[in-house]
């Protein structure tokens, strides 16, 4: 089992200019680990990260988009897997931090914990690739190829919480974070 923040530190090591759409705890960790990354932080409704990332991937086909989803969050919007696969954005990488709980809502277990396969669901929905990782070394070895892969690709990370990070909800949902993201998108489009 990997620590989520260790996985995000690995991703930050290989991250270049990809747009990032994280949810809940992954947002706070990502902002602390890679504060200069173009990060869409206005994700407040459980389950919507994959749909928001799809919109960004379709609207900005010249940019790679990484969604840092949670297993509980994805369960709230499983239909997004089929929608993403049908749209087939080649620039979308869908990371799922699977810890078996609705972490943002008190750590209650998700339905199907230890039974369902998010990679299997993605394959059945029609994603081009789907992978599962529970060892940090294996993830690090695969990450450069994953970040170059033609999407949509789902990467299921078997994780547990790591270190504690500040939870700045005001920043996450505030205008400064949104304007910083808009500026990063405008810059990439030459506006």
Q: Read off the pLDDT of residues 60-102 as tens digits, 9 standing for 90 and up.
A: 999 999 999 999 999 999 999 999 999 999 999 999 999 977 7
Compute the average pLDDT of residues 102-109. Answer: 72
DSSP strands (E only) in 4-141: 19-22, 65-70, 92-98, 101-102, 108-109, 129-133
| pLDDT of 185 above 70 | yes
Counting Cβ atoms within 10 Å, is residue 133 exposed (0-12), middle (13-18) or buried (19+)?
Answer: buried
Average pLDDT of the chain is 92
Q: What is the pLDDT of residues 37-63, one digit of tens each?
A: 999 986 666 789 999 999 999 999 999
Q: What is the pLDDT at residue 189? A: 66
- Kindly report the CA angle at 111 between 132 and 167, in degrees rounded to 5? 75
Separation of alpha carbons 94 and 143, rounded Å: 13
Q: What DSSP character marks residue 151?
A: S
Separation of alpha carbons 81 and 152, rounded Å: 10
Q: In percent, how much of the chain has pLDDT > 90?
A: 73
- On whether the CB atoms of residues 4 and 159 are closer than 8 A, the answer is yes
Handedness of CA 159, 29, 131, 69 (dihedral sign): positive
Q: What is the pLDDT of residues 136-163, one digit of tens each?
A: 999 999 999 999 999 999 999 999 988 8
Query: Which domains does the chain carry?
Result: 2-188 (3.40.50.970)
């Amino acid at each position: 089992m990997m620590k989520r923040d260790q996985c995000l530190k690995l991703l930050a090591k290989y991250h270049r200019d990809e747009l990032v759409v994280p949810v809940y705890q992954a947002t706070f960790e990502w902002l602390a680990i890679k504060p200069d990354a173009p990060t869409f932080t206005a994700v407040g409704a459980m389950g919507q990260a994959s749909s928001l990332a799809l919109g960004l991937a379709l609207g900005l086909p010249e940019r790679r988009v990484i969604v840092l989803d949670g297993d509980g969050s994805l369960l709230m919007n499983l239909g997004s897997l089929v929608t993403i696969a049908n749209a087939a954005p080649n620039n979308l990488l869908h990371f799922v931090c699977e810890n078996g709980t609705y972490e943002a809502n008190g750590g209650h277990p998700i339905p199907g914990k230890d039974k369902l396969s998010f990679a299997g669901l993605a394959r059945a929905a029609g994603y081009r690739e789907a992978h599962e990782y529970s060892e940090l070394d294996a993830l690090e070895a695969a990450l450069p190829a994953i970040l170059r892969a033609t999407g949509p690709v789902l990467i299921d990370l078997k994780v547990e919480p790591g270190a504690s990070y500040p939870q700045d909800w005001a920043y996450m949902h505030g205008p400064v974070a949104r304007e910083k993201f808009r500026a990063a998108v405008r810059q990439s489009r030459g506006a």
